[in-house]
Amino acid sequence: MKDVMMLLGFSMGLLTGALLYKYSQGTKNMIDQGEKKIIKGAENMEKKAQQGMEQLEKKVKEGVKTVEDKLKGK
């Protein structure tokens, strides 16, 4: 019985949220703005990760060159 009540509560919350999104302009704007902020944050994280990978790649190339130079006896 407890599981049924939990499922019913979840369903009612989901239905209420969907109706609010559909008919309430303020709620729709708030959700859309939140979604845009999340997407922008994810894009910023992606850019930072890309920059970090580029820096790491440069350091690895420098390290390989140093090892090769030492092996050649320079």
Give the count of alpha carbons within 13 A of 42, CB side only.
6
- Tell me the three state secondary structure of residue 73: coil
Mean pLDDT of the chain: 91
**Overall average pLDDT of the 40-54 stretch:** 95
pLDDT at residue 70 is higher than 70: yes
**Overall average pLDDT of the 31-49 stretch:** 95
| DSSP H or E stretch at residue 36 | helix 25-72
Return the C-alpha torsion angle 16, 20, 21, 25, nearest 10: 180
Pair of tokens at residue 71:
């092996």
pLDDT single digits (tens) 24-33: 899 889 989 9
pLDDT at residue 74 is higher than 70: no
Q: What is the pTM of this model?
A: 0.56
The sign of the torsion formed by the CA atoms of 23, 27, 33, 36 equals negative
